Structures are given as C-alpha cells and as structure tokens.
Chains A and B, each alone.
Chain A
Amino acid sequence: MPVLQIENLQIAYPGANDPLVVADDIDIQINAGESMGLLGESGCGKTSIALGIMRLLPPQARLSGQIWLKGQNLLSLPDQEMQRIRGKQIAMIFEQPATCLNPLMTVGDQISEVFQFHASYSSKASKRETIELMGRLGIDAPEKRYRHYPHEFSGGMMQRIMIAMALALKPALLIADEPTTALDVTIKAQIVQELKDTLARMNTSLLLISHDLGIAAHLCDRVAVMYGGMIVELGSRRQILITPRHPYTRALLDAARGQEDQLIDQDVYRLSKGCRFYPQCPERQSVCQETTPAMQNGVRCFLAH
C-alpha cells in the first residue's frame, strides 16, 4: 500500500465570478521510503498541495478528491484525528527555519513540544529527549543551549533542528517545502546529504517541494512537474531531467541552466479549457487551446501523446 495517494485532488478558492482553481486534477502516489519531488515555479500551487495534505489551508479553501495516508482518507477525518496525524504521521518543514521558531520561546522548549504533543512524555522526559536530540545534531553543551532563544542559533543549525524535530517521531511521510532555499550553498549541500541519509535510515517517504532542480536531482526518485495548478509531467528523475517530454519541463530545465525565466500569468488559473501552458508554449497548436490534455503515460501534452 502506498504511503500517500492523492486522487483527483482539486483546491479552489471561491472568487467573485469563477472560483480560482489553484490545483486541479492532481494524482500522486508515494510508496514507502520513496522520495517524490514536486517541481514548478513560484505560484504554481505546490505549497497549496502540501498544506492541503496537512489540512491547514485557510477555511475558505474548497478541497475535493481524496488524499489517502496509508489507507486513511485525510479529507474525511475529524479535526481531532487530523491533529494527531500532524507531526506524528506526516511531518513538515518550511523554507525559512528562522520564522518557524517562536522568537519568544527557548529552542529547547519548542523542540520538546513535539514529544509532548504525541508521545505523552512527561515534561522531564521530553526535556531529556530534546537534549539528547540536540546532542545528536552536534550542538555543543546541549543542556545550556536548551535555554537559548532562536536568534542565538545559525540558519543552518536551525534548519537541522527543524528537520530533527520533524523526524523525531519517525513519521511515515515528510513534506519538505523548499527546505534549503534560505541556506547558503555550502550548508545546503551538507543538509541535503544529512536529510537523505536520515530518510533512508528511517524508511520515511519524502514529498519535496522545490523549484531547485539540483536538490530534486539529488533527493528524489520520481519527479512531478507542475504548471498553473496542474501536473504536466510525472516520471522518474532520470526521465524528467534527461528526456523531458512536456514543453514546460523543457522550458524549466532551460531556465535552470540560466536561460530566460518566465513567471506564471495569474490568468491561467481562470482558463476553463485548453492546456494551462498554452498561452506561453513555444510549440502550441490550435488543439491546445480547445481541449485540456489528459495525463497519459506521465505527460499532459498532445505533442507527446
């Protein structure tokens, strides 16, 4: 049974005239221990999907479809059950580690929260676990650093702490939303390697959300490329990076090689028919404007079918 299976997910916000569909027809399957990359430029709906899985989207968001976590449909769970799944079964790390920690609370107290929420540790036991965890991360004098505040840690160390917190309870799935974007290059490589080793050791699946093809190439077994709220191509890392079939994937790879960059025009979310990439596609044909291409053999493009 796959760890995570998303079927026909749609996320929409009610608008003045038409609803704004930020993610449409999303099908993703992640098996145990597998790493999946969700690539695409800013605003393509990646983070909405992540927050949709966590059920932390704003209340006005409308979700349809199914999100199965180990055979349990997350979208039909009561809030209380969902709260028990967050942090224990699905963990998540964010782009800016510095903003993920409450500046008014000691780092130690915040790490120990994860033990208190789920493992029903006493405050003493969770403090001991926290100090042990901080020691494993290579933090000197963890008893002393327990009482330090977030601003007294470096960015790299904070992201290590966030990763360690996320994985402390051995979740089945880790969602990493741009985990290295805020870090400098040397630290980035180290942390990606550490993350990869830890995931492999614990057999935790990963959903990596990124626009950085480099770290996706390093971490992911399979890659899904998103544009305008739709997955346009899905395949193995090798296939996507070496033989991309969708014109958008090719454009994204070109952009990564330092060529021209383009931004999603927000109007694509209001297109009622046709390929989302049609307005900007270099290889568009008349059929692309009329009909939305279906996902076939891992690619959503008439030219590749």
Chain B
Amino acid sequence: MTATGKLGILNPLAIIFENHLARLGMVIIGIFILAALFAPWLAPHDPIAQNLGQRLQPPSWTYPLGTDDLGRCVLSRMIHATRISLRIGLLVVGITAISGSIIGLFSGYTGGITDELIMRATDVFLAFPGIVLALVVAGVLGPGLTNTMLALALIGWTGYARLVRGCVLSTREKTFVEATQVLGAGHVYIMFRHILPEVLGPVLVMATLGMGWTILSSAALSFLGLGAQPPVPEWGAMLSSGRPYLRTAWHLSTFPGLAIMVVVLAFNFLGDGLNDALNHKKKPADGN
C-alpha cells in the first residue's frame, strides 16, 4: 500500500502524497497562495474603499461575505489579507529558520563555552511564553507590521537553534566527519557540506509548523492592535474590528477567524506529513 513497500526505499514526496491530511494541507495552502498572488484580480471590490451606504450588509451576490462597519467588502479584504499573512509567515520563518539553524550549527559544532553561552541565551528566550514576549517587543517598538515581524523573529529563532544544535551534536560524532577531517577538510566545509544536510529534514518540518504558528501569532498581535493598522486588511485586525457587531453582523468576525484556523491547520497537517516522510525511524502514516 505505501510507497515505501514498492521500491524498498523511502521516497518522501510519495509518502506525503499518500497521507490524506498532508495532501489536504497542501491543497489548502495552494489555494491561499493563489489567492495571495492574484488578489487584485480575484477580489470583487476594492478592499479599502468605503461605502457607508452599504455598511454591515449580510452576505449577498454582490458581497459574498457581506460588508463591514465601513461598507467594505469582507471577501475582498480577506483575499488581500492572505498576502499579508503569507508574507509575514514566509519572512519570519525564513529569517528565523536560517539564522537559528546557523546559530545552532555553530553552537553544536564548536561546543565548549560558546555553546554554553548560546544555549543559556536560548533558555532566557524560552523561559517567557512566546506571545507575551512578542507583545512586549511589539509594545516597546510600537505597533505596525514591520515591528510585528521583528518581534516574532526575535523570539522564533531559539527553537531552530536548539533543534539544529541537538542534531549537530549527534552528527558531529559520526565516523564520516572524522574521515573527512582526515582527508584535510576544514571546519567550515564540514559544517556546511557534511553536517548541515543531515539537519535539513527536521528544520523543514519545524519551518512548516512554524508557518502556522507565525500566522496565528501575527493575527493575535493584530487582534490586540499591535500589528496591522487600519485600513490595512489583516485577518486578526478584521476579527477584532468585527467584535462589537457579533450579534448583529456575525459574518464580520466569523470568516476571518475561519481563514486563520484553516490556514494554521493546513500548515500543521503538512508539517506532520513532512515529519512522517522525513523522519526515517517512524513508519509513515497509514493515510487516513
């Protein structure tokens, strides 16, 4: 049944495709990426233009998801908001995964006092609940999307650093590292050519799960008013601005909330699927 059985070797892509949840995750993420790429063409209305005569309309043919308190099309705003969420996700995850991995690689390979200092620094960051620390940073730096990204990046790298360091510690002791040194390889070469490829699998899984976490956290910061500022369309901010109208216009908060949930769930499904596919010790999920 599984792809592993057929060829006797692990084919990560085949395993992901056999995992229904991971496939579902990929499809959902694909839809959101397309929505982000083609937002101006897909959105039926201008996401920012106000039309006070049409405020708080329920879903209709003209406004599929209704209008908000300023008469703006909720669907159009949501489509444009995918751009912001995905951009924050990609940027923050990209920055944290790369910087965290390099720090972890360096820390684990060097060992000794350097390692000790870096790991105690990550301990300090990990001692605070992530979102609280992000709140503090965003609060100090002031509200705004750039500062949201900075705050999330500042707290996000520690996980990657710890993960990579752990993998490096075990890989560094393998004979082929010694054998390569014996051939005359330098430390930098060994770190990047021989050890880094070994840790890419776990990092990829963590980065995928991290996309979901980042999108959720940035929405949370926007919900609290520290992220996207009006009139920029953002899911968390939309959710927040719809709150006073929950009884009269349920669609204002419901649809952005659903979008956040579905995207985060999709990234988690994909991350789990990747984990099954890349984690050789574990059997792939049975696909149901």
Contacts and interface: CB of A to CB of B under 8 A. Distances in A.
A86 B197 contact: no
A99 interface: yes
B187 to A, nearest CB: 9
B279 interface: no
Interface in A93-110: 94, 96, 99-105, 110
B199 to A, nearest CB: 11
Given A92-B179, A103-B176, 9 more contacts: A56-B181, A86-B181, A86-B183, A88-B184, A99-B174, A110-B180, A113-B183, A114-B184, A117-B184
Closest 3 CB pairs of A and B: A87-B184, A100-B179, A87-B183
A165 B183 contact: yes
Contacts of A94: 175, 178-179
A128 interface: no
23 contacts: A56-B182, A59-B112, A83-B184, A86-B183, A87-B183, A87-B184, A87-B185, A92-B182, A94-B178, A101-B176, A102-B180, A102-B194, A104-B197, A104-B198, A105-B194, A105-B197, A113-B183, A114-B183, A114-B184, A117-B184, A117-B185, A118-B184, A165-B183
B186 interface: yes
Interface string B127-158: 00000000000000000000000000000000
Given A104-B197, A105-B197, A113 B185 contact: yes
Contacts of B197: 104-105
Interface residues of A, number: 27
Interface of B: 112, 174-176, 178-186, 193-194, 197-198
Contacts of A83: 184-186
Given A104-B198, A105-B194, A99 B176 contact: yes
Contacts of B178: 56, 94, 100
A96 B194 contact: no
B176 A100 contact: yes
A20 interface: no
Q: Provide the main secondary structure of the chain B interface.
A: helix
Contacts, number: 58
B175 A54 contact: no
Contact of A54 (B182, B194, B198): B182
A103 B174 CA distance: 11
* Residue among A96, A102, A165 with max Cβ neighbours from chain B (10 Å): A102
A117 B188 CA distance: 13
Contacts of A165: 183
B175 A99 contact: yes
A56 B176 CA distance: 13
Interface string A39-75: 0000000000000001010010000000000000000
A86 B175 contact: no
Contacts of B186: 83
B51 to A, nearest CB: 58
Nearest to B9: A151
Contacts of B174: 99
A102 B179 CA distance: 9
A59 B110 CA distance: 11
A91 interface: yes
* Residue among B176, B186, B193 with max Cβ neighbours from chain A (10 Å): B176
B183 A117 contact: yes
Interface string A106-125: 00001001100110000000
